[in-house]
Structures are given as C-alpha cells and as structure tokens.
Structure 1
C-alpha cells in the first residue's frame, strides 16, 4: 500500500526533483540568521507559528527553507552532537534551542566536539563495516569536506553565539535559533547528503551487504531496537521485517519529507492516483476533482498526523469514490416553524457529500465529531460522546473513502439513540431535523426502499380519519406505535410546570415491551386527565384504540418516535367542531 503511494510520488519527484518538496516546505518556529561570507549578519527572519500555508513572499523565506531542509537531523538519535544540544547536521548551519544558551547547556566544549566530528567523519563511521562502506560511498559522491570553511564557521560561532542577544537584539525565548552561513544551493545539498546517506537506515547493525551494495531497514514509521523484540521475525534467518536498497531508502526519506510538509500545512487527507497525482486536503475537507469530467476517484488514501515524525493513521485502496451525490433528498416531512430560528439542515436535493457531512456533524454530534483521538472535554453529553466513538470509523469510511458498508448497518440504531437523546434534552427542533436527515440518509443508503416518513404518512392519515368516527380499531403494529407517540406527546403537553421539559418521556423511550408502554401511558393519563378538554372526544377515541390493541411484533421505536415528533392530531379540530 505505502509502496504503491511511493511509486506515484517517485514519478512526481523525478519530474521536479527536490523542488517538489521545497515548494511546500514549512519553517518551524524560531529565529533564522543568515551570515554572509564576510562574517556579517545579512538577514534575520523571525518565524512564528501559523495555521495553513505560510507567506512565502516574505523576503528570504524560500532561501531559508532550502538551507533548513538540507541541514536538519533525521532524528535526535542520529545527532552529530553526542550531547544532542546542537541539532544541525553540517558545518554550514548551527541549530540550537535558545534555552540551551540561557541555562548554560551549550558550552564551548560541545561546540568544539561538534565541529571536530564534522571534520573527522571517518572516525564516526569506522564501525561497523556497513557504516564504513556507507561513508566511503558518500565520500566518493560528495568529495572531501571544506576544512578551511569549517574552521571559519566554527570560529564565528565561538565568537558570536553567546552574545547575539546583546549585539543583535536576538530575543532569547524557548524557540530555536538557527544560523546559516551563506553558500550556494549545491553546497548545502552536498553537505546535507553527506549526513543523510550514512544515517538514512534505521540502524547500521541491521544492514546487509549484498554484491557490495547495502540493504537495510528504513527509519520512517518503523522502529526496531532491543526494546521491541516483537517486531522481529524470529523464525527467519534474517529477523528484520524487510530490507530496501540505499536508492529506495533515500526515495522513501524524500517521500516522508513531502508528507511532513503536507501535514505541517494541515493537509492530513492525501489521495494518490496515476491521473490526479497527489492531492492533500484539510481535516474537514473532501476531495475535489481537477477534471470536471472525471467525478470518481480510484487510487490510494492516506490519513497522516504530525508527531515526532509523520504518523500514518490510516491507509487504504479506494475504488470509484464519489463526492457528488445522486438521489439524496431531504424531505420536509415534519413541520417546523423557522420564523424565529435558523435552519439546521438543507431541504431538497443535496448533490455534495460535504454538505451531508456538515449536517451530520452539526445535527447529530453538535460539531464535536472527531475521527481520531478523544472528543473535546467541552462535550458534556455522554450519549453523543459514546455515539461518536461507536460510529466515527463508519462515517469516516463513507465520507473520505466512499465505503458505505459499515455505516449502512450502524446508522439506523445510532441515529435513533441520538434523536431520543435530543428529545430527553428538550431539543425538539433538533430532534425533528435529525429525524428528517436520518430519513434521507437511510433512503440513500438503502436505495429502492420507501423512507420511514413515506411509510408512516398514510398511517398517520388513517389515524386522523379514525378520530372522526365514534368507534375505530388499530389495524397494524406501526399504526399502534404511531398512536402511542401521539398520545404520549398530548399527555405531556398538559404539564402545567413553568418550565416544560420533554424529559418526562424518558421512561416511554426506554420501554422494552408493550406492557411497560401501557403502564407508562396509564400513569400519565391518571396524572393529567383532569385537564383533558381540548380535543377531549378525539383523545378518548385515540386512547381507547391504544388500550384495545395488542401488538404482534417487537417494539417499533421508529414508528413511536415518528408519532411523537409529528404534528399532534389531537390539536387538530374536526369539521363538526369547527362548525
């Protein structure tokens, strides 16, 4: 899977080279200083943390990106400074945390050791034999180091590093201080490769020499050391998971450098395909198509996150993924007065998947949906929190990969519980909107079947007709549970409390069988029958039908909820009453 993505990246990299990475490179927070060849500070750039794309038009930004990219460490375990205080990798740069200057952690001895190591790399890489061979190969490629320039840069650091706050008003905070010595691009690239090539493998002890070529374990997204013996294949002659050549491991390093750039600007959703190349999107974005004629995507998907390195949280092959919808329609099957409130859902035909995603996040999860990590502590509802954790993987599969299999089986139950929770919390408008959105999603997922509202509307109409007569009976379980919802809403509406709440319906929503339902309705009837005036005759008729019916099947929660959320028939006057 990663190999497939790597092949697509390789085509782009061969076309553009390191520019493909540098064009999206993001500088970390800190103070960046460029020292010219005369030893004078030419430019100081202060970089603060920002969201999204940085302003690349700032003078010197792209130049600092290039120098920084070739001067950074692969990881702290591969530091050129044994004390791990200096974090750069070559003599053209000097990276240190300002805290190390403030607390005295950086000393002249550490600086001397750093430059001694850079000037005597043959000592650092003399053992084991795999490291020595890597260094010798690097030496053939990069040539000898410029010892004179190294000494000059070392002397500049010794002379100025501890007084920069006084001589050049450099603020000493907790950010990085990164110093670069002016040189051309090729020299920075050469010195970067002098470091990268011998250190790019996970650990030299796992390297294998075959036909004078070295194969080893890549460092990216793989750790292998004495503390992780379970990663080794003990039954094989070679215990390591897999080996790659030096060419492959360098390409993989470039690939993960590219991924780090993407995640730094917030592009955590990446799509790879032969036709589209590589496209990155923000966490709440769904993919768009460059070619308006092509509205389906087939390729690979990566979800990445930023940690100590790029973390691949999810990876999957995708077939015929669409972000345009056909046949998704939200019907206004329950009336809501929007004269004083704002609509929470869109009605009519919805053609974009991102609109459905936004409505799901807003109506069902109060905008607390997170697909990775824990929901915010600001979310107080345990029902919503539990629903997020249960359903987020299924929603993620649908919204970001086009796979509806998981959400198809899970959504009806999850959404029903969320509607019940809204009713309990007295959020009736939200509950009604949830019902109509739920109806549309279920209809879309189970194409060809009538929506719940389509099935229940004729039943509600028949109930209304029966209320006009003297004697009537219920004819189906669906009709019965719809009537139960209507009776329950009417009885609870008679509550005279100054602050009315639908929390009183909790016992009914939690009922497990018909015996419980009838018992709850009787208690409500006894409690409020003193005030049954408006629609009294119609109520007696409806309540008698409910009491006289024994359902044959299981409790139909959907029909009950529909009856509770719909306009109440007992508040509609009959023709004779109007006369």
Structure 2
C-alpha cells in the first residue's frame, strides 16, 4: 500500500510543479522548523536573527520578527540541511547536527557546557572538506562515488570561509544582537543559491538514504538498497529479516525511489506537526486529503487511509484500504424520543451525515471521549471504569464504520455498548444520561434493523398498561415485552419508597444483572415485603400492575431492554391527575 500512496503523492508533486514551478513547495509550505534561534549570514558576513516556536496546543508557528521572505528562506535552508537521523551524523561526536558546510546547527546548551569548541568546529568542517575519506567501507564509498559523479566536488573556498566565520563569531553572537535562551537550537545558515544547498544535501543524503549500505545490491549497473523510513534492520534485530528467502531484506528500491520516499515521510511529518494525523489518498482524484482527529471527508471516497503520529520519526499507526466510503447516510438516522423525555437541546431529530451521527454517539454514549481517543493507547486513557472498557472494546469498529464505511456487526456492537452504558448510568445515578442512552439504543436498533417504529412500540405498551391499571375489570399482561416494561415500572416504584437520605439507582442492580426470571420474581417479592408498609391497600394502580406481573408466565428469555425502558420511563403508578395522586 505504501507504493500506492507514493504514486498518489507523486501526482501531488507534479501538480505542485505545474502550479508553482517547484514541486518541493508541497513539502516546504507545511514544513515546521524546530524551536530555536535562526541566524542568516549574507555574503558580506552581516547577520539577521529570528526566533521560531511551535505552539503545540494551537498548532501555530510563532516567529519574531515576522518576515515572510526570511521565514520561507529559513524553511528551505533548514529542510535541506537536516540529518537523516542522529545515528547518521556528519560530526562523529554528534555535537553539530547539520549536514553541510552552508549550515551550522548546535544545541544552545553546547555553547555553555564546553561541548562546542574550536576542535569540534574543525572536526565538523574537516569531514565536509573531504567526505570520501569518512567512508571506509567499500559499499559506503560506492554510494558516495555514485552521487559525486552527478554533483561534482566540494567548493573548498566557501567551506573555509564559513569555517572562519563560525570560529570568529559563534561565541560572540551578542555583538550581532542575537538573543539566546540557553535551550533549543541555534541554527546558522550562510545565504547562497538554493541549488547549492540542494547539491550539498544530496552529497550527504545519497550516502545515508538507505538503511545500511551493506544490504545494497548492484543490478545492471544500478544500485538497489533497503529504505530507511519506518524500518530498522541491523545485527541487533535479526527477527526483522525474511528468513524464508534467499535475500533476507524485506524489499529493495533505487536511490531515486528512496529520495521520493524520504520526501513522502517528510510530508507526513509536516502533517503530524500540524496535527493533521488522518490522511486519505484518493485513487480517483489522485490527491492527498489531510484531516485532524475527528474530522471527516465530507464527500464520497475511494482509496487508502493512514493514521500517523509524531515520535522520534513519523510513525504509521494504522492503515487500510477504503473501497466505497459515503459521507451522507443512505437513509437519515432518526434519533427518537422513545421515552418522551424533555428535549431542551433538540437532540431528537434526523441526522443525515456521519459527522452528525458521530457527534451524537460520542456525546451520549461516551461523554465526548470517543472522537479524541480513537487511537490513544489504552494505558494513556485518563478515563476509567465501564466507560473505558466500552471505549477500548468498540472504538476500532466504530471508526471503521464511520470513517471507512465498514458496517459489519455494528448493530450488535452498538447495542452491547448502549446496554452497558445504560446500566452504568443507572448504577451511578445519571438520570438524564440513561434516558438519552436508552433513546439512542432504540433509535440505532430501528436504523440498523428497520421494522416497527420503536417510539410507537413503547407508546403502545405504555398505553395498554395505563388502560389496564386504571380500569376496573379483569386484565392481564399479553406479551413478554409488556411484562418486562411493567417489572421496570415496579422496580422504580419500590426504590422511590425508600426512606434513605440518598436514593441510589444501584438498588436496581439485582434486576439488571438477573439472568433468570425466578430471580426477578423473588426480588420483587423481597422489595414488596420491604416497602409494603408504605403502600396503601387502596392503591389500585400498584395493586393491578403487581398482580398482572405476578400472574404472568414468561415465554422467552429475559429482555433487559424493556425492563430498562420501564424503569427509566415516566412511572405510570404516579401518573394521574391531582385528585388521583392524592388517592395514591
């Protein structure tokens, strides 16, 4: 899939080349230099300094003073002066972190702790003066000879001029009004033609671009090597080798392909720095769409998806192929007010796209913990208990459904989450939340399974029970659903009679965890014996409901959904006119 994504990225580069004349602008326009002090030295040795800082919360780059042209120049110089990694430095002692004689990077603390001195400066420029001498292994020298044929030798006069400037000024930057904080980077760039920066970068990169030159092969006068991005293979990691093949390395590419792949991972790092960690590669339009966490593509989509995170290097944490994603729902999701609850925020309405539907599920079921934690490692989640358990268990499937169009088993998964979270809300006394969650469960069931309108079904049950407990003739419960709804009503009524200062919904737990009807019937009798001293003999509604429940013979298994519906819904025993309430 990486190769497929690279092909689409190449199309984006070509498009940028056509529009701006420079394909690298696709990467440079989103490039974020590291926090620190940046110094530009012109051809006369004069200095301009800037500070750059990334606001990690707002994902905004702050620069002082504000100078767009200087910022653009700094980004270009900085991008082309980076090391492939700290394991592949120009300075053997890793004090200086740049890759060519036109730039000089050092941690500001190295100016104070003695790590940077004239010997270190000479060590760095001596390596750059004759790069081939650094490469002792034949494979490394072969890579250097490969690139030097294309770009020529080092400009020794410029190198020595820059060496002298650094020695004379690096410890006296105060005279140029350069302010140092003592931390982050100090990066000095000698202004020059951009082509020279690119040339000197290639001199370094092409010798380091592969994971290890020992793995390189030469086939028909062309060098092939193991790429360095998101891949580690060395003597300490023999398990990374493919032992079933004659060639143990996973795959080989040319230096040109490796350069493209490096540019691609640079692009991914830029996106990660900006918080755009969800990337979609459109195989129809041949373009890359970058989104922040929780943002969705608001159109149909076919292609590839990768989810990235910033670490020591950019890390691909998740990848998948998306066959036929639809942003708009095939049919509207109707969030029904099954229990007839108060609706000040107007939640109960039609939702027509996945972003709106995700918002309801996130808020009602997961208390807004879902969207921002689709890929958060379990050990880093700051939520605990039932919410964490259900979040970890279901988030991958919910993401696949909402972001990739994979709907398999979503009805079962969401029903289980709804039931678990309703019970959790009951146990914790979240009265408003449990009603919203119950309504959502019924609405999702209707959305996935179709069939009768759940709101009408519960209205019918309530109407039938209301007529029976307010009537005067013989009556009986007719269905299992009606039976469990009545049980829920009785459980709530009994708990409401408690004289405890704090009436907790946890008193309903024995009914919510019951797996046999005999347990429910026995518990109802126990509650009746406990609270019957408060129940007036003439309370018709209670008497008729309890009698019907006690007489009913269950036909199927326990249905906790209807029991919860009866428990959460407005209690029919209390529902009456003022005179009737006084009677009760």
- Normalising by structure 1, we get a TM-score of 0.93
Match of 2:59 among 44, 47, 52: 52
Structure 1 residue 456: deviation in Å? 3.3
Specify the alignment match of 1:291 in structure 2: none
User: For residues 233-382 of structure 1, what are the structure 2 equivalents within 5 Å?
Assistant: 233-273=242-282, 274-275=284-285, 277-288=287-298, 295-325=299-329, 326-338=331-343, 343=345, 346-369=347-370, 370-374=373-377, 379=382, 381-382=384-385
1:125 equivalent in alignment to 2:135: yes
For 2:476, what is the secondary structure of its paired residue?
A: coil
Secondary structure in 1 aligned to 2:316?
Answer: strand
The alignment yields a C-alpha RMSD, in angstroms, of: 2.3
Alpha-carbon spacing, 1:48–1:299, altered in 2? closer, same or farther (3 Å): closer
Q: 1: distance between equivalents of 2:381 and 2:291?
A: 26
Q: Describe the superposition over 1:34-79 as per-residue Cα deviations: whole angstroms up to 9, x where unpaired.
A: 1111222123233343433536974321111111100011111111
CA distance in 2, matches of 1:449, 1:199: 63
1:112 paired to 2:122: yes
Q: 1:280 to 1:424 in 2, by over 3 A?
A: same
1:23 aligns with 2:29: yes
1:534: Cα distance to partner? Answer: 11
Equivalent pair of 1:269/1:282 in contact (CA under 8 Å): yes
CA contact (8 A) 1:534 1:571 kept: no
Distance 2:144 2:380 in 1: 51
Separation in 2, partners of 1:550, 1:198: 82
Contact 1:165–1:172 (8 Å) recurs in 2: no
In the alignment, is residue 571 of structure 1 matched against residue 574 of structure 2?
yes
Q: Per-residue CA shift, 1:408-450, capped at 9, x if unaligned?
A: 331111111001101111111111111122222333233x333
CA–CA distance in structure 1, aligned partners of residues 420 and 454 of structure 2: 16
Judge conservation of contact 1:99–1:172 (CA < 8 Å) in 2.
Answer: no
Distance 2:279 2:61 in 1: 19
CA distance in 2, matches of 1:376, 1:233: 32
CA shift, 1:577, in A, is 4.5
Would you say the 8 A contact 1:482–1:559 is kept in 2?
yes
Alignment partner, residue 417 of structure 1:
420
Tell me the residue number matched to 2:78.
68
Q: Which digits, 9 at most, give the CA deviation of each residue in 1:284-312, with x for residues without a partner?
A: 21113xxxxxx411111111111111111
> In 1, distance between residues paired with 2:538 and 2:34?
70
How many pairs align? 567
SS state of the match for residue 317, structure 1? strand
Distance 1:487 1:155, change over 3 A: same
Does the alignment pair 1:140 with 2:175? no
Query: Could you give the per-residue CA deviations for residues 100-158 of structure 1, whole angstroms, max 9, x where no partner exists?
Result: 22322223222211111111111123422x32222112112221111111111112222
> Against the structure 1 CA distance between its residues 545 and 371, is the aligned structure 2 distance closer, same or farther, given a 3 Å change threshold?
same
Cα distance in 1 for partners of 2:211, 2:453 equals 56
1:550 counterpart = 2:559: no
List alignment gaps of at least 5 residues for structure 2: 18-22
Indicate conservation of the 8 Å contact 2:338/2:442, yes or no.
Answer: no
Q: Under a length normalisation based on structure 2, what TM-score does the superposition of the two structures give?
A: 0.92
Residue 244 of structure 1, CA deviation: 0.9
CA contact (8 A) 1:535 1:573 kept: no
For residue 328 of structure 1, give the secondary structure of its aligned residue in structure 2.
strand
Matched-pair contact (CA < 8 Å) for 2:429–2:505: yes
Tell me if the contact between 2:54 and 2:61 (Cα under 8 Å) persists in the aligned partners: no
Retained in 1: the 8 A contact 2:38–2:188?
A: yes
1:534 & 1:9 partners in 2: Cα distance?
A: 79
Q: Is the 8 A contact 1:442 1:451 kept in 2?
A: no
Map 1:367-446 → 2, pairs under 5 A: 367-369=368-370, 370-374=373-377, 379=382, 381-446=384-449
Partner of 1:292: none
In structure 2, the partner of 1:152 is 161
The aligned counterpart of 1:85 is: 95
Residue 171 (structure 1) aligned with residue 180 (structure 2): yes
Partner residue in 2 for 1:4: 4
Q: Distance in 2 between matches of 1:133 and 1:465?
A: 93
Paired residue secondary structure (1:506):
helix
